Structure 1
């Protein structure tokens, strides 16, 4: 993507949040990452997100994250839009990664600054300073799980900043979704940050979703999204219900380790997690395997297990 206008035009649909497959010793498995990316592109996903929360960016150095951006953009090229997470607790790192992401033709995804008692006006000023660093604009990541929850009124102020292309909304409270959809929808792109409960935001008018579980269940989550996109809410609901048992395990065992375990069971390149996360233990992996077997037995899921 060459500029903000093109980025805004292409930023919609189902984006796969790529896990980062690490080897047992913590090294990057770039070949496995490439295979995972090619899988979702070939299936018809609209874009990919790299180095996000479930991509384990807090466990990487700034140099590693920059290297990841370069590798991924070499793999993807301009075939689909790429969100590149440049969030961080050190503003200097955020500055460098945001500039790099835009220079590479990706869209930098930035959280509010990780500072205690930062005010709304300071958050707005932070984004005003950050946006000009990227020629493709900036995606605001409202991520309550790792930082500060931005209110709809603050998001409305951010939507007025030229170069803010969209928001990836992690606060899925119905009131917040209703306010955001009706107050800033159409001005910037709205993305639901969770595939666990994307039906509501999409019905309210959001432009797309980002999905980590689609690394493990790409066919099923894509089918559910396309059904909703085509206006068949009933089919989307029924397909979404199919993988509730997997969502329940993900909530219980944590992410991205549950998705990585499922990927490995399917013969995909899930790899390992980096500390402080821990890979699932044998009994947990058995639970995941049982859920996958149940999904594979249901023809509606299109899930196939490794031979």
Structure 2
């Protein structure tokens, strides 16, 4: 993408949150990442999100993150839009990565700087500083997991900043979603940050979702999303219910380790997580494997396991 206008036009649909496959010793496996990217593009995903929270950016150096941005954009080219997570607690790092992401043709995804006792006014000032750095604009990520939850009133202020093209919303409280959808719909692109409960935001008028579990269950989650897009709520609910046991295990054992475990069980290249996260093993891995086998036995899921 080369401009704000192009970004606004292309920013919609289902985006795969691409896991970062590490080797057992913690090295990047770019061949595996390329294979996973090609899989979801071939299936018809609308875009990618690289280096997010579930892409394990907090355990990467700034240099590693920048290298990953360059390599991914070389792989993808301009085939689909790519969100590149530039979040950080050090504004100097955020500035460097945000400018790079825009220069590469990606869309920088920026969280508030997660430092203690930052005020709303300081958060607004921070986004005003970052937005002009990228020719494609920036995407706000309201990520409660970092310890800061943006209120609707602050999000409205941020959405009015020139260069803010979208919001990835992690606070999925129904009343909050209702207010955001009706106050900001049509002004900026709205994305649901979780594939665990995306039907509500989409029905409220959001423009798209980002999905971690689509790395593990790409066919099923894509089919569910397309059913909602096509107005077939009954089918969407039916498909979404199929993988509830795996959603429960993801909540129990954590992400991205559960997604990577499922990918590896399917013969995909999920790789390992980096410390301090630990790969699923023993009883936890068997729980996931059993739920995956049960899902694959249901022909509605389209999930196929290796022989």
TM-score tier after normalising by the smaller chain length? over 0.9
Q: Distance in 2 between matches of 1:280 and 1:289?
A: 11
1:191 counterpart SS class = strand
**Structure 2: distance between partners of 1:75 and 1:281:** 32
Residues 71-130 of structure 1: per-residue CA shift (max 9 Å, x gap): 000000000000000001111110000000000000000000112111111111100000
Question: Equivalents in 1 of 2:115, 2:23: separation in Å?
Answer: 33
Partner residue of 2:192?
192
Q: Equivalents in 1 of 2:214, 2:157: separation in Å?
A: 32
Determine the structure 2 residue equivalent to 1:62.
62
**1:166–1:189: 8 Å Cα contact kept in structure 2?**
yes
- Aligned twin of 2:139: 139
Q: How does 1:100-115 map to 2 (within 5 A)?
A: 100-115=100-115
Question: Where does residue 5 of structure 1 map in the other structure?
Answer: 5
Q: Distance in 1 between matches of 2:299 and 2:57?
A: 36
Q: Which residue of 1 aligns with 2:22?
A: 22
For residues 165-205 of structure 1, what are the alpha-carbon distances to aligned partners after superposition, in whole Å with 9 as ceiling and x for unaligned?
00000000011101100011110000000000000000000
The one-character-per-residue Cα deviations of 1:7-50 (angstroms, maximum 9, x if unpaired) are: 01100000000000000010000000000000000000000000
**In 2: Cα distance, 1:17 partner to 1:137 partner:** 20
| Structure 1 position 291 matched with structure 2 position 291 | yes
Q: How far has the Cα of 1:282 moved from its partner?
A: 1.6
1:199-214 aligned within 5 A: 199-214=199-214
User: Aligned residues, how many?
Assistant: 307
Identify the residue that residue 118 of structure 1 maps to in structure 2: 118
Q: CA RMSD in A?
A: 0.5
Q: Please give the secondary structure, in 2, of the residue aligned with 1:195.
A: coil
Residues 72-111 of structure 1: pairs in structure 2 closer than 5 A: 72-111=72-111
Aligned residue for 1:135, secondary structure, equals coil
Range with bigger deviation, 227-236 or 110-119: 110-119
Q: What is the SS of the residue equivalent to 1:17?
A: strand
Unaligned runs of 5+ in 1: none
Distance 2:249 2:180 in 1: 30
Aligned equivalents of 1:70, 1:149: Cα separation in 2: 30
Give, in angstroms, the shift of residue 132 of structure 1.
0.6
CA contact (8 A) 1:167 1:190 kept: yes
SS in 2 for 1:23: coil
Any idea what the Cα deviations from partners look like across 1:239-292, whole Å, max 9, x if unmatched? Answer: 000000000000000000000000000000010000110111121111111111
CA contact (8 A) 1:166 1:188 kept: yes
The alignment status of 1:276 with 2:279, answered yes or no, reads no
Residue matched to 1:127: 127
- 1:70 offset after TM fit, Å? 0.3
Superposed CA deviations along residues 144-167 of structure 1, whole A, max 9, x for unmatched, are 012310001110111111110000
Distance 1:282 1:216 in 2: 19
Q: TM-score under structure 1 normalisation?
A: 0.99
SS of residue paired to 1:145: helix
